[in-house]
Amino acid sequence: MKNTVKVLREEKNMTQTELAERSGISLRTIQRIEAGNIPRGFTLKAIAQTLETEPENLISTSEEIFTVDRAKLINLSALSGLVIPFGGVIFPLILTYRTKDPFNKELGKNIVGVQIILAVIVSVLMIVSPFIQKALSVKTPLFLMFLIAFLCIKLLVIIKNGICLNRKNDLCIKLKTSFL
CB 88 within 8 A of CB 99: no
Residue 178 forms part of a structural domain: no
> Do 157 and 82 share a structural domain?
yes
For 105-161, write each residue's pLDDT tens digit.
999 999 999 999 999 998 999 899 999 999 999 888 888 988 899 899 999 999 999
The angle that helices 2-11 and 27-34 make with each other, rounded to 10 degrees, is 120
Q: Which amino acid would we find at residue 122?
A: V
> Do 34 and 87 share a structural domain?
no
> Do 91 and 155 share a structural domain?
yes
> Do 164 and 75 share a structural domain?
yes
Residue 176 forms part of a structural domain: no
Torsion angle defined by CA atoms of residues 151, 157, 163 and 168, in that order, rounded to the nearest 10 degrees: -170
For 22-41, write each residue's pLDDT tens digit.
999 999 999 888 887 888 88
pLDDT of residue 88: 92
Question: What span, in angstroms and rounded, lies between the C-alpha atoms of 80 and 94?
Answer: 13
> Do 101 and 32 share a structural domain?
no
> Do 97 and 75 share a structural domain?
yes
Residue 174 forms part of a structural domain: no
> Do 78 and 51 share a structural domain?
no
**Domain hosting residue 46, numbered range:** 2-57
Burial label for 35, CB within 10 Å (0-12, 13-18, 19+), is exposed
**pTM confidence score:** 0.63
Q: E strands within the chain?
A: none
Question: What span, in angstroms and rounded, lies between the C-alpha atoms of 47 and 72?
Answer: 30
Question: What span, in angstroms and rounded, lies between the C-alpha atoms of 14 and 30?
Answer: 12
The tally of domains found in the chain comes to: 2
> Do 80 and 164 share a structural domain?
yes
> Which of 57, 78, 93 is the last residue in one of the domains?
57
CB 39 within 8 A of CB 51: no
| Most confident region among 7-16, 52-61, 159-168 by mean pLDDT | 159-168
CATH number at residue 11: 1.10.260.40
Residue 20 forms part of a structural domain: yes
CB 129 within 8 A of CB 138: no
Question: What span, in angstroms and rounded, lies between the C-alpha atoms of 35 and 58?
Answer: 14
Residue 179 forms part of a structural domain: no
